[in-house]
Amino acid sequence: MSTEFDLIDRFFSRSSPAAKLGVGDDAALVEPSAGHDLAMTMDTLVSGVHFSPNCEPRALGHKALAVNLSDLAAMGARPRWVMLAITLPAIDEAWLEDFAGGFYDLAQRYDVALIGGDTTHGPLSLTVAATGEVAADKALRRDGARAGDEVWVSGHIGSAALALRHRRGELRLKGGDLDICSTRLDRPAPRIELGEALVGVASSAIDVSDGLVADAGHIAQRSGVRIEIRYDAVPVIAGLMHLKADHGVRSAVLAGGDDYELLFTVPAHAAGQLDRVSATLGLALTRIGVVVPGSGVAVLDSSGSVIDVGSGGYDHFE
Ligand code: ADP
Ligand code: MG
């Protein structure tokens, strides 16, 4: 019978040279880089709420870390150290092996060290806390958007929500489209390099986790501005372009969430730099709207009329 300590030793104790002291003591020790602010974030994934109980453990390990790295990306921070609190209904070693594999694969890709955590018994739930570094006073905050700025997004929007709706039988995606969308849902790619490249360029940023309109609303509210989005300009994967007007697709694009793309604003004079950033990273960046005086978010159709999007996002307590 494995104990909690055996589990930690076996699955969560890979060496972490980025820390002075990693897993195994009462607390980890890290040394922040001079001239940097620490960006700190935490996200919990609960079985049955954020993922289905039979979700593939390797994908879950990836996603638990990815959603946190995405928050650091949205601050323009470079991820350095993470902690993992895991609550398990039972000890399933094959499951843990795969979960840890997915988690460490992503951690290694970004040179992030797992330096501690907690292991408890109960309904399956995963909490990751991540710390990154960003040059002092240069973080990409939600409150920096100004009237006259342009609104941009990375990648494609709505893919994760479309995969989810496909799985629920609410719509049908074709093979190739389904593959792209499923990857976005199960193994989102945190836009870390983009976040870092936007430091000193973007005036505000957020990652699209709750839904495009809801997340634009967070920037609008924190910045005291209004954001106008042209629905026609919002990028969706090529195979779905012709279905953009379909109601189900439109609600996935505007309100779906779980994309983990970055939504950001740039002063008009800085927008020219984005082509180079896009080319360097091999990542599409698309201008989808403008920041104007006022409050809230409006989505406009091709004739400039406002599209009704309802509440436009995911709220756990609604
Ligand atoms: P304590 O009782 O002092 O809080 P624990 O027994 O909870 O310590 O944990 C022992 C060590 O293992 C600590 O360094 C802790 O950070 C680490 N740890 C516990 N669970 C995990 C986990 N799931 N992933 C990574 N490190 C963990
Ligand atoms: Mg202790």
- Total count of residues recorded for the chain: 318
The verdict on the CB of residue 118 being under 6 Å from ligand 1 is yes
d(CA 129, CA 111): 16
Position 314 confidence tier, pLDDT thresholds 50, 70, 90 = low
In whole angstroms, what is the distance from residue 168 CA to residue 278 CA? 34
311 or 35: which carries more pLDDT confidence?
Answer: 35
pLDDT at 318: 45
Summary mean pLDDT of the chain: 94
Cβ partners under 8 Å of residue 314, min gap 6: 210, 211, 214, 255, 257
Which residues partner with 36 through β-bridges? Answer: 135
Query: How remote is the CA of residue 8 from the centroid of ligand 1, in Å?
Result: 7
CA 4 / ligand 2 centre spacing (Å): 14
E strands, 1-53, in order: 36-46
Please tell me if the CB atom of residue 84 comes closer than 6 angstroms to any atom of ligand 1.
yes
Which atom of ligand 1 lies closest to the CA of 22? 14
pLDDT score at 145: 98
* Ion ligand 2 neighbours, Cβ < 5 Å: 26
pLDDT digits (tens, 9 = 90+) for 102-126: 999 999 999 999 999 999 999 999 9
What confidence score (pLDDT) does residue 309 get?
81
- C-beta of residue 237 within 8 angstroms of C-beta of residue 285: no
Statement: residue 245 has pLDDT above 50? yes
Please give the residue that has the higher pLDDT: either 7 or 223. Answer: 223
**DSSP string of 274-302, one letter each residue:** HHHHHHHHT--EEEEEEEESSSEEEEE-T
- pTM of this prediction? 0.94
Class of residue 262 by CB neighbours under 10 A (exposed 0-12, middle 13-18, buried 19+): buried
List of residues 6+ apart from 115 with CB closer than 8 A: 16, 18, 19, 21, 22, 23, 28, 30, 81, 82, 83
Structure tokens at 310: 């309802």
* Residue 83: closest CA among 101, 103, 98, 102: 103
pLDDT(149) > 80: yes
Token reading at 231: 């629905």
- Establish whether residue 61 lines the binding site of ligand 1, counting it when its CB lies within 6 angstroms of any ligand atom: no
Over range 135-149, report the average pLDDT: 98
The secondary structure of 216-280 as a DSSP string is HHHHHHHHT-EEEEEGGGS---GGGGGGTTSHHHHHHHHH------EEEEE-GGGTTHHHHHHHH
pLDDT (0 to 100) of residue 311: 54
Q: Using CA positions, which residue lies closest to atom 7 of ligand 1?
A: 118
Structural contact between residues 162 and 256, judged by C-beta atoms closer than 8 angstroms: yes
Q: Which two tokens stand for residue 205?
A: 């940023």
Checking if the pLDDT of 222 tops 90, the result is yes
To test ligand 1's pocket by mutation, which of 96, 97, 119, 120 has the most ligand atoms within 8 angstroms of CB? 119
Query: For 66-104, what is each residue's pLDDT tens digit?
Result: 999 999 999 999 999 999 999 999 999 999 999 999 999
Q: Which atom of ligand 1 is nearest to the CA of 86?
A: 23
- pLDDT (0 to 100) of residue 231: 97
Residue 315 has pLDDT above 80, yes or no: no
pLDDT band with cut points at 50, 70 and 90 for residue 308: confident
Q: Report the pLDDT value the prediction gives residue 1, as an integer from 0 to 100.
A: 57
| CB of 26 sitting under 6 A from ligand 1 | yes
More confident residue, 80 or 308: 80
